[in-house]
Structure 1
């Protein structure tokens, strides 16, 4: 077996391994997304506003300064629109 054929074989095996790992993770991600949808559906069934819950989750990902800056800009824009 020539060095080039061996190198191509190793590269193909490596590529296949990467693809298979990504495919497994994509399956897990889809399962987790389904679990999250079920939790939101359960919360909605218990009277919670899912849109607001999603907003809270988004806000919790940001630090305090970033949230304050965003709120200040929102307030400024609302004032500019007479809201």
Structure 2
């Protein structure tokens, strides 16, 4: 038995519906992240610093070290060191 052939219209509709579901899930996750930062703030943590830490943890160690060296160089050049 062969499978029925899906029309281009049906295929497009399925893609759009899938994207819409994923967008809803993404919004839910973004809301959860925002709520977590708000909860941390209520416990005395600084969300801005926490966001920086999350960004740093995503980086490869070598890239992070390189960025920190450049940052230190710029800070020293501006008298912020």
Please report the TM-score for the alignment, with normalisation by the length of structure 1. Answer: 0.87
- What runs of 5+ residues in structure 2 fail to find an aligned partner? none
Aligned residues: CA RMSD: 1.4
Shift of 1:59: 0.4
Q: Which residue of 1 aligns with 2:21?
A: 24
1:69 maps to 2:66: yes
- What runs of 5+ residues in structure 1 fail to find an aligned partner? 1-6
CA distance in 2, matches of 1:15, 1:65: 43
Q: Which has the higher helix share?
A: 1
Please report the TM-score for the alignment, with normalisation by the length of structure 2. Answer: 0.89
SS at match of 1:82: coil
Aligned residue-pair number: 76
Per-residue displacement from partner, 1:24-66 (whole Å, max 9, x unpaired)? 0000000110011111000000000101100010000011111
CA distance in 2, matches of 1:59, 1:29: 22
Is the radius of gyration larger for structure 1 or structure 2? Answer: 1
Q: Which residue of 1 aligns with 2:76?
A: 79
